[in-house]
Chains A and B, each alone.
Chain A
Amino acid sequence: MSGKKRIVKELGEITSSPPDGMRVRLVDESDVHIWEIFMDGPEQSVYSGGTFRLVLTLPKDYPFKPPILAFQTKIYHPNVSNDDKGSMCLGMLRSDEWKPPNKILAVLNMARNLLVEPNPDDAVETGIAEQYKSNRKEFEKTAKDWTKKYANAKK
């Protein structure tokens, strides 16, 4: 299928020059469809100091269907589902917004940008989004606590 060549190319590009604060590898060397990403919490964000493990799954119809991105590390964020899936599904990750030329690199950068600046208007966790908008202090406190607790932040 058309997907393989494209995936290998993308993987090569990302592993040879990984985006800022990220380390990318295959979960299993024999399966190019499942990627593992370690993402550092951006300096200027409440997730700073933490390291988050994400799994990116490419559907068999990739790139005609979008990748599926999931936080394996628990994170307090309006755009990440607070359940055992930890899924992030907005913007280009939605099948009606995804376009086949979109790249995984762009997906990862979008995810990282969302750590800096959450999008409460397109939230999966509406409660957290509400808090983010109306009580930023409280939001930041919990997000930092969770980062310490689950994402190994030092202090």
Chain B
Amino acid sequence: MDSDDDMRSVQSSDDDFMDGGDSPFSVDDDDDSDIDLDDGIGFEAQDKDIYPAKKSYEVDFDVFGPEQIQAHQDRQVEEVSNILGQPTESTAILLRYAKWNKERLIESYMDRQDEVLEAVGLGSDANVPRKITKVKGFICDICCEDDADLDTFAMKCGHRFCVDCYKQYLSQKIKEEGEAARIKCPGDGCNRTVDSKSLDLLVGHDLHARYHELLTRTYVDDKDNLKWCPAPNCVYAIDCKVKARDLMRIVPTVLCKCGHPFCFGCTLADHQPAPCALVKKWLKKCEDDSETANWISANTKECPKCGSTIEKNGGCNHMTCRKCRHEFCWMCMGIWSEHGTSWYNCNRFEEKSGHDARDAQAKSRQSLERYLHYYNRYANHEQSAKLDKDIYLKTEKKMTQLQVTASMSWIEVQFLESASQALQQCRQTLKWTYAFAYYLARNNQTEIFEDNQKDLEMAVENLSEMFEKSVDQLAGLKVDMLDKTSYCNRRRVILLEHTANDLKAGNWEFNVTLT
């Protein structure tokens, strides 16, 4: 890939956001055709020596904090304000009304200024400051109060109500309906937008803060290229150019500054390599079938040899029965030694020979078995990821304690964290490979996919197993662990690149239609 191209693409996506370039506002969305799937790199071009080049499964994106979002919003307002010759306050209203589509706003403003201004409630004389006043003989049309000293308010449109009613109206819109940019005058049939000066006059401090928060939110909500990070309490927004129609060919995975990796398409947690549509189908299926499926993902199983109950306590699938020392695979209950060499038949569901599928019962049983095969592995990786994390946290704590009490020489424990992170990430990927595989139609490609899956799974189990070693053993295994960690990461990249390339090329055949 040509590095000049890379730089330009990164540069331009930056410009678009920071300097109000064209693309976030592009009038006819459908014109600026498909995203350039082969262009751009994931990182700043000048950091190229430090960061690896973008992988085929990665997409360009930026992360913005609240100040940047606000600053950008302000800059847009200022720019358009100069073009339209309107004060910033009115321009902000116009832009919000036009859902931040700058071109469309300017165009329609040039064509029919009065109409546009009237539509957003900025008709002639709109900027005359309004006051809270008492009006003789006034009856509030909302509460029917008619006290002589009733405080009242009206915007330019003249729809006058008592201040209490006005306040309650605004408070309900802001607090309960989460509206801000497009609150209309309470007057019957009146379309005038309540401007923020009127709002300042009427609402208290708490509502005021909420109002401005909502204004910022609408800015992000209104733009297709911006999405809030879904992590709880996270204040960042992601800027990504991938469009909804591209989601059949790409899984746009982004990483927020808060550390949360998620899909820009559907905002669910990282679900590579499965495209959004499959994820949606799979989750729906899991929900529908949860009762039948649950029993199989239970936390305990019986040793296939002696029958004693074994509880899974680490993420590793290599189980050893405490009683009879029998070693087996947690997932398929097969003998572990067989996994060691020919590794793992256990990631692939062997389609049973056709003859017993003849009667309907066997068929539905087989389809349930097939589903459970994939679901079991999907759920297993989810659970193992949690167990991996637990055991890592325990190990890290023990190590630190040992170092403090000086019974152990100080060693760098960073490698444990890297290993733990790799495990989390790889299991997340593995988990979704099973949902992906469930919907794959069987052909030559499936085998490459399954091989990659098998290799990643083996790498993950080998690394996960390390955490079951005692703490003083671990200290001496740093190099080994680092090796296994980078091997895991490499296997993940290989799997994701393969699936992503073929997804882009439309080479995967699924047994369902993606809609």
Residues of A within 8 A of B (CB): 2-3, 5-6, 9, 61, 63-65, 95-96, 99-102
A-facing mask of B139-178, CB < 8 A → 1, else 0? 0011111000000000000000100110011001000010
For A6, the chain B residues whose CB sits under 8 A away are 142-144
Q: How far is the CA of A65 from the CA of B168 in the complex (A)?
A: 11
- A-contacting 9-mer, from B34-42, B87-95, B181-189, B356-364: B181-189
Q: How far is the CB of B447 from chain A (nearest CB, A)?
A: 47
Task: Report whether A101 and B144 are in contact in the complex, using a CB–CB cutoff of 8 Å.
Answer: no
Q: How far is the CA of A5 from the CA of B165 in the complex (A)?
A: 13
Quick check: B141 and A61 within 8 Å, CB to CB? Answer: no
Contact with B143, one of A5, A65, A96 (Cβ below 8 angstroms): A5
B142 to A101, Cβ gap below 8 A?
A: yes
CB of B164, distance to nearest CB on chain A (Å): 7
Contacts of A99 in B (CB 8 A): 184, 186-190
Chain A: minimal CB distance from B20 (Å): 31
Query: Given B141, B144, B187, which contacts A5 in the complex, CB threshold below 8 Å?
Result: B144
Closest 5 A-B residue pairs measured CB to CB?
A2-B143, A101-B141, A100-B142, A6-B144, A101-B188
Looking at chain B's contact residues, the main secondary structure is: loop
User: CA–CA, A65 to B176, complex, Å?
Assistant: 11
Contact yes or no, B172 A65, CB < 8 A: yes
Q: Which of chain B's residues has its CB closest to A61's CB?
A: B172
Tell whether A2 pairs with B168 under 8 Å between CB atoms, given A99-B189, A102-B188. Answer: yes
15 contacts between A and B (CB under 8 A): A2-B164, A5-B144, A6-B142, A61-B172, A63-B142, A64-B169, A65-B172, A99-B186, A99-B187, A99-B188, A100-B169, A101-B141, A101-B186, A101-B187, A101-B188
Q: How far is the CB of B181 from the nearest CB of chain A, in Å?
A: 14
Contact residues in B for A3 (Cβ distance below 8 Å): 143
| Further contacts, 20 of them, CB under 8 A, given A9-B144, A64-B172, A101-B161 | A2-B143, A2-B145, A2-B164, A2-B165, A3-B143, A5-B143, A6-B143, A61-B172, A64-B169, A95-B177, A96-B177, A99-B184, A99-B188, A99-B189, A99-B190, A100-B169, A101-B141, A101-B186, A101-B187, A102-B188
| Residues of B contacting A95 in the complex (Cβ-Cβ under 8 angstroms) | 177
Q: Given the complex of chains A and B, what is the CA–CA distance between A85 and B141 in angstroms?
A: 31
CA–CA, A63 and B189, complex, Å: 15
- Find B168's partner among A9, A64, A96, A101 (CB 8 Å cutoff): A64
Contacts of A2 in B (CB 8 A): 142-143, 145, 164-165, 168
- By a CB distance below 8 angstroms, the chain A residues around B186 are 99-101
Q: In whole angstroms, what is the CA distance A111 to B144 when docked?
A: 24
Q: Mark B187-208, 1 if CB is under 8 A from A, else 0.
A: 1111000000000000000000
User: Do A100 and B144 have beta carbons less than 8 Å apart?
Assistant: no
Give every chain A residue within 8 A of B187 (Cβ-Cβ). Answer: 99, 101
Residues of B within 8 A of A63 (CB): 142
Q: Closest residue of chain A to B185, judged by CB? A: A99
Q: How far is the CA of A101 from the CA of B165 in the complex (A)?
A: 10
Cα-based distance from A3 to B143 in the complex (angstroms): 6
Q: Which residues of A contact B144 (CB under 8 A)?
A: 5-6, 9
CB distance from B191 to the nearest CB of A (A): 11
- C-alpha gap A50/B145 in the complex (Å): 39
Q: Give the residues in chain A near B168, CB-CB below 8 Å.
A: 2, 64
Residues B142 and A5 in contact, CB atoms below 8 Å apart: no
Which of B142, B145, B161 has the most chain A CB atoms inside 10 A of its CB?
B142
CB neighbours of B190 from chain A (8 A): 99
Min distance, Cβ A12 to any Cβ of chain B, angstroms = 11
Give the CA-CA distance A2 to B177 in the complex, in Å.
Answer: 20
Interface core residue of B164, B177, B188 (most chain A CB under 10 Å):
B188
- In the assembly, what is the distance between CA of A9 and CA of B140, in Å? 13
Measured in the bound complex, the distance between the Cα atoms of B187 and A65 in whole Å is: 14
The interface residues of chain A lying within 8 Å CB-to-CB of B184 are 99
Residues of A within 8 A of B142 (CB): 2, 6, 63, 100-101
Q: Closest CB of chain A to B370's CB: distance in Å?
A: 37
Cα separation A62 to B184 with both chains bound (whole Å): 18
- A5 with B145: CB separation less than 8 A: yes
Chain A residues lying within 8 Å of B164, measured Cβ to Cβ, are 2
**Can you name the residue of chain A whose Cβ is closest to the Cβ of B164?**
A2
- Write out the residue numbers on chain A whose beta carbons fall within 8 Å of the beta carbon of B172: 61, 64-65
**Minimum C-beta distance from A99 to chain B (A):** 5
Contacts of B165 in A (CB 8 A): 2, 100
